[in-house]
Amino acid sequence: MGGAVVASLAVAFLLGVVAQVGYEDTPFLPGLKWRVHDAKRPQPPVLVPGKTFSDPPSDAVILFNGKDLSKWRSVFGGPARWKVENGYMEVMPGTGDIQTMDEFGDCQLHIEWMIPKGTGGSGQGRGNSGIFLMGRYEIQVLDSYENITYADGMAGAVYGQYPPMVNPCRPQGEWQTFDIIWLAPRFDGDKLVRPGYLTLIHNGVVVHYHTPVMGVTGHRRLPTYRPHPPVGPLRLQDHGFPVRYRNIWYRPLKGYDGEPEWRDLTFVIFPNLPRP
């Protein structure tokens, strides 16, 4: 058999291997019903990413489009009364917190905020607001550029629990971004079976990663968990300062292979690991 023929057969064999969509004779992955390279494992859904990291992908739910507050309401009831102009919303001090009509749990959340140039004060009294996941768990918004306050109350802190690992704040008048991965807590009746977990990227910098939130945040008190539904609204705080927000969207997160939610498989895959 000539060399050219052998080479052609080898190429054909390799192309056949490459073209093969999975296998049915490989071992099963630990704790899963799927084999390594399983031919029957479902394909992930296709989406169109945003042109930039700030732009919403095609499966995102837009919470604020820069035009109106139709997807928001006052926490006191009735329409949200914050100002909307130039593509952003701005806290109208004294009108109260606002929250989304949508309720969600596990999610990827994108939100941008700014402390207007010329905002005075110091410490907690300079551009204070907050982002409450599920209406309960606060991520602090504050002018933390060359402004000292208690560490677990600066911008990007899980309020009263964890400071950000670093301070990547920009100065007044510049837009800041929070990209949040949130796994909501789970309850079995009155019993907590999984805390909330937070990953936060502030201006492209990781400041929390898979951090177990200790409970509902609050001022000068210990955090505790109280049972609540698996979904809740996004709430933005009126703390008396004209803080601005724009480009707010989220993506509900599910588990692998179309499962309704993420499952922690650590001790399924590694059963001999010591448990904390």
Overall domain count for the chain: 2
- Tokens 């309960």 belong to 136
Domain shared by 159 and 239, yes or no: yes
Domain shared by 91 and 201, yes or no: yes
Instruction: Map residue 38 onto helix, strand or coil.
Output: strand
Residue 118 · residue 253 · CB < 8 Å: no
State which residues form the domain around 23: 2-43
Domain shared by 89 and 203, yes or no: yes
Residue 238 · residue 91 · CB < 8 Å: yes
Domain shared by 28 and 73, yes or no: no
In a domain, 206, yes or no: yes
- Tokens 């749990």 belong to 105
Mind listing the pLDDT tens digit of every residue in the chain (276 residues)?
A: 566 655 555 544 555 555 678 999 999 999 899 999 999 999 999 999 999 988 999 999 999 999 999 999 999 999 999 999 999 999 999 999 999 999 999 999 999 999 999 999 999 999 999 999 999 999 999 999 999 999 999 999 999 999 999 999 999 999 999 999 999 999 999 999 999 999 999 999 999 999 999 999 999 999 999 999 999 999 999 999 999 999 999 999 999 998 999 988 999 899 999 987
In a domain, 190, yes or no: yes
Domain shared by 38 and 66, yes or no: no
**Single-letter code of the amino acid located at 91:** V
Alpha-carbon distance 240 to 158, whole Å?
A: 20
Domain shared by 106 and 150, yes or no: yes
Contacts of 192 (CB under 8 A, 6+ apart): 185, 186, 225, 227
In a domain, 262, yes or no: no
Residue 52 · residue 247 · CB < 8 Å: no
Domain shared by 248 and 158, yes or no: yes
Domain shared by 125 and 244, yes or no: yes
Domain shared by 21 and 99, yes or no: no
Q: What is the pTM of this model?
A: 0.91
In a domain, 244, yes or no: yes
In a domain, 270, yes or no: no
Domain shared by 139 and 25, yes or no: no
Residue 98 · residue 245 · CB < 8 Å: no
